[in-house]
Amino acid sequence: MPYWLMKSEPDELSIHDLQRLGQTRWDGVRNYQARNFLRGMQSGDLFFFYHSSCPEPGIAGIASISRAAYADPTALDPHSHYFAAKASSEKNPWSAVDVAFVEAFSRIIPLAELKTLNALQELPLVHKGSRLSVMPVSAEQWTTILALR
DNA sequence: GCCAACGTTGGC
DNA sequence: GCCAACGTTGGC
């Protein structure tokens, strides 16, 4: 079973929001590389929930994929912040998944700490200027990060 | 197809 | 608020 990492701005959706909701749709991904990773996800896959663009960027917990990729409805909604003018119901290039809460860490594992670990050097998250918001995590990387909780 | 301009992400 | 990285757009 593959592992993943996904970024969310906690102002939009934090791990605690997801804890309260139990489950929600993960939509608004508008980058093809990230979308392709979304499409590779299967129900039951686990991912690290990363808080971005906030005072304490880092990994905040774990969630799971509860529904595999499907057409992202926000791309077709003119009122949505994620509206994609070129998308249509016949041809919607964007995908969403549903996610379910698994665990909120007792502390945020800061990006600065992740960057110090040799075992994570291949993880795009720690690369300077990395903007990829959905990425695979190897079993070794997963274990390394879990040990930091 | 090239590439400059522009927009967005996201850490700091 | 600044700015590096990098994806997208559009003229040519």
> pLDDT tens for residues A29-68?
999 999 999 999 999 999 999 999 999 999 999 999 999 9
From the C1' of C5, which residue's alpha carbon is nearest?
A129
Question: What is the per-residue pLDDT for A121?
Answer: 94
Chain A 56-115 residues whose Cβ is under 7 Å from strand C: none
Q: Report the SS3 class of residue A36.
A: helix
The b/e string for A71-91 (b: 16+ C-beta within 10 A; e otherwise) is ebebbbeeeeebebeebeeee
Say how far apart CA A57 and CA A129 lie, in whole Å. Answer: 14
- Taking the C1' atom of every nucleotide in all shown strands and the CA of A58, the nearest one is B11
Question: What is the per-residue pLDDT for A146?
Answer: 96
Identify the band that residue A129 occupies on the pLDDT scale cut at 50, 70 and 90: confident
Whether A52 CB is under 7 Å from strand C: no
Whether A32 CB is under 7 Å from strand C: yes
The residues spanned by each domain of chain A are: 3-143
Report which DSSP code applies to A53: S
The 10s digit of each residue's pLDDT in A14-25 is 999 999 999 999
Whether A115 CB is under 7 Å from strand B: yes
The 10s digit of each residue's pLDDT in A57-100 is 999 999 999 999 999 999 888 888 888 877 887 788 999 999 99
Angstrom distance, A133 CA to B9 C1': 9
Class of domain A3-143: alpha beta
- The total number of residues shown for chain A amounts to 149
Identify the band that residue A131 occupies on the pLDDT scale cut at 50, 70 and 90: very high
Residues 6 or more apart whose Cβ sits within 8 Å of residue A68 = A41, A42, A43, A97
Whether A80 CB is under 7 Å from strand B: no
pTM for this one? 0.94
Whether A31 CB is under 7 Å from strand C: yes
